A = this chain, B = another copy of it.
């Protein structure tokens, strides 16, 4: 029996694959390598196919004769502004990838899906983000297509799935970094070590989790839930840190003499959420708690990513 990881060569997927490898699972990765890389995985120990999951006939042909016990779906567009500019980016990579995954699972009679969703499904809310609040009015196409994915997974549970885990991710940091604010800042400072221009006024506040803790939480939820619909926020215990905190930490570690410039707007880009208040009571009740605070996760990730990028 095999486990499929879609997006298994990406930032989070490749870390998950390593953990599953340690459990001696047979792993099949589908990853079209838009942001992922073969460098992130030990390809001799997994079956790797560089296919777009939306190419259903090709994937089904590949899976012929294999028994699959579960699917982890972590493939998505992770460039939120690109998705706002062009509907098709999130439509294809974030949503239709889920539809294709479900069509494939129905065909091969696989009944367990573990899905990387996002805090972006909540949109811009003033109330505390418990898993059961409404309404769900996303403000980015990325968030919209994650919510759409949750919805079609939910209806598939009614018709053919047996077990669903939906993980609503916060901002996740660590290596191998393929995108995100820390990588962006470090690369800007590599180009110009004296200046760091920040989008927005720096006061946007978000919760950050280190990728190692995220993987641990996902596996914990997977192992401690039963059949049916399971959906959990995953995040740190605090309300997050500001972009200003991150910019200062990056400058501090990477280029201590750089000057930081901010803009007047309170949002970095369309679809960006200036502040949110994320509840992780539900996963704590299940028995898992994060050890790192947002700022600790950021500090560790800045060190890791600046090493990845080559310190100046």
Shortest distance between the CB of A239 and any CB in chain B (Å):
20
Which residue of B91, B99, B270 is within 8 Å of A158 (Cβ)? B270
A156 and B84 CA atoms in complex are apart in Å by 8
Interface: A214 (CB within 8 A): no
Interface: A202 (CB within 8 A): no
Interface size class of A (residues with CB under 8 A): 35 or more
Q: Which residues of A, 131-166, contact B by the 8 Å Cβ criterion?
A: 131-141, 143-145, 147-148, 150-152, 154-159
B residues in contact with A103, CB < 8 Å: 87
Shortest distance between the CB of A99 and any CB in chain B (Å):
6
B residues in contact with A156, CB < 8 Å: 141
Which residue of B87, B137, B155 is within 8 Å of A141 (Cβ)? B155
Contact B145 A152 (CB under 8 A): yes
A131 and B152 CA atoms in complex are apart in Å by 20
Shortest distance between the CB of A26 and any CB in chain B (Å):
28
Contact A140 B152 (CB under 8 A): no
Q: Which residues of A, 212-238, contact B by the 8 Å Cβ criterion?
A: 229, 231
Interface: A95 (CB within 8 A): yes
Chain B CB count within 10 A is highest, among A102, A132, A145, A147, for A147
A137 and B140 CA atoms in complex are apart in Å by 20
B residues in contact with A148, CB < 8 Å: 95, 144-145, 147-148, 151-152
Contact A152 B141 (CB under 8 A): yes
Chain A 55-87, CB within 8 Å of chain B: the 1/0 string? 000000000000000000000000000001001
Which residue of B87, B123, B158 is within 8 Å of A140 (Cβ)? B158
Copies in the complex: 2
A264 and B172 CA atoms in complex are apart in Å by 49
Which residue of B102, B133, B144 is within 8 Å of A151 (Cβ)? B144
Q: Which residues of A, 148-193, contact B by the 8 Å Cβ criterion?
A: 148, 150-152, 154-159
A271 and B147 CA atoms in complex are apart in Å by 19
B residues in contact with A132, CB < 8 Å: 134-135
Contact A147 B151 (CB under 8 A): yes
A231 and B123 CA atoms in complex are apart in Å by 15
Which residue of B135, B157, B271 is within 8 Å of A155 (Cβ)? B271
5 sample A-B contacts, Cβ–Cβ < 8 Å, listed by A number: A84-B155, A121-B151, A139-B158, A141-B159, A159-B270
Q: Lowest 10 A-B CB distances belong to which pairs? A: A134-B134, A148-B148, A144-B151, A139-B158, A137-B154, A144-B155, A147-B151, A144-B152, A133-B134, A141-B155
